[in-house]
C-alpha cells in the first residue's frame, strides 16, 4: 500500500489589519444600515393600507441592522489577515463565511492602492493585487495608510525581481 506524506496544514496569514478597521467598518455599516432602515420606515409611512405586521417587521429589521453594526466589525477584525512574502500574497477575510486566497508572486500583474474619503478619515488604505486568475483580484483591506504604501513598494520590488510574465 502506498501512502503519501501528510499534507501540511495551511496556516493563517501572519498580519492583522489595522485596529482602526473596526471603527471604519462600524461607521460604514452604520451609514448603510441606517439608510436601509430609514427607507423602510419611509416606505411604510408613504404606502397606504399596509397590514399591521409591517411595523413589527420594520422593528425587527432595525434590531438586526443594529446587531450587524455592533457585531460584524469585531468578527471581521479577528478574521481578516494578510501576508506578503517573496513567493506569494495570502489573505483571509470574511465574517459569516471565510475566504482564503493565495496568489503566487509570479502571477501578479498589477498592484493598486485605494483610499476613499471615509478610509482617509480613519488613516486606512486597501491594496488590490490583480493576478492572472479567473478568481479575480486579491484585496488586502484596511491597512494603516503607511503600511499600505510600504506593502505596495515591497510588492512592486518583489514582482519586478521575479521571472515570468504573470500569465
Q: How many CB atoms lie within 10 A of CB 151?
A: 21
- Residue 5 above 70 pLDDT? no
Q: Which residues contact 131 (CB under 8 A, 6 or more apart)?
A: 103, 107, 108, 109, 137, 138, 166
Cell of 51: 397590514
- Cβ proximity of 72 and 94 under 8 Å: no
Residue 61 lies in a domain: yes
At 68-123, the pLDDT tens digits run 999 999 999 999 999 999 999 999 999 889 999 999 999 999 999 999 999 999 99
Q: What is the pLDDT of residues 135-158, one digit of tens each?
A: 899 999 999 999 999 999 999 999
**Whether residues 85 and 142 fall in one domain:** yes
Grid cell digits, residue 56: 413589527
- 42 falls in which pLDDT band (50, 70, 90)? very high
More confident site: 133 or 83: 83
Number of domains in the chain: 2
Average confidence (pLDDT) over 21-25: 98
Within this chain, do residues 85 and 157 fall inside the same structural domain, yes or no? yes
Phi and psi for 154 in degrees, rounded to 5? Answer: -65, -45
pLDDT of the residue at 10: 74
Distances (CA, A) of 42 to 32, 37, 57, 63: 16, 9, 14, 17
- Let me know how long the chain is: 167
Same domain (yes/no): 93, 138: yes
Please state the φ and ψ torsions of residue 148, each to the nearest 5 degrees.
-60, -45
Q: Are 78 and 100 a contacting pair, CB within 8 Å?
A: no
Quote the cell numbers at residue 114.
485605494
Single pTM value for the model: 0.87
Give the mean pLDDT of 43-67. Answer: 95
How high is the pLDDT of residue 7?
65
Domain boundary among 77, 104, 121: 77
pLDDT at 163 over 90: no
Query: Are 55 and 85 contained in the same domain?
Result: no
Structure confidence at residue 164 (pLDDT) = 62
Residue closest to 102 by CA, chosen among 80, 83, 127, 75: 83
* Residue 162 pLDDT: 75
Give domain status of residue 117, yes or no: yes
Amino acid at each position: 500500500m502506498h501512502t503519501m506524506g501528510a499534507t501540511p496544514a495551511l496556516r493563517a496569514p501572519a498580519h492583522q489589519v489595522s485596529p482602526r478597521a473596526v471603527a471604519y467598518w462600524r461607521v460604514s455599516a452604520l451609514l448603510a444600515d441606517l439608510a436601509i432602515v430609514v427607507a423602510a420606515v419611509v416606505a411604510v409611512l408613504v404606502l397606504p393600507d399596509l397590514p399591521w405586521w409591517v411595523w413589527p417587521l420594520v422593528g425587527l429589521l432595525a434590531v438586526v441592522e443594529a446587531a450587524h453594526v455592533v457585531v460584524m466589525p469585531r468578527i471581521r477584525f479577528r478574521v481578516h489577515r494578510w501576508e506578503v512574502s517573496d513567493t506569494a500574497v495570502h489573505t483571509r477575510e470574511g465574517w459569516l463565511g471565510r475566504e482564503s486566497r493565495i496568489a503566487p508572486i509570479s502571477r501578479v500583474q498589477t498592484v493598486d492602492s485605494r483610499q476613499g474619503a471615509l478610509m482617509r478619515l480613519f488613516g486606512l488604505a486597501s491594496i488590490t493585487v490583480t493576478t492572472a486568475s479567473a478568481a479575480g483580484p486579491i484585496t488586502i483591506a484596511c491597512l494603516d495608510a503607511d503600511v499600505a504604501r510600504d506593502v505596495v513598494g515591497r510588492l512592486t520590488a518583489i514582482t519586478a525581481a521575479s521571472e515570468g510574465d504573470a500569465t
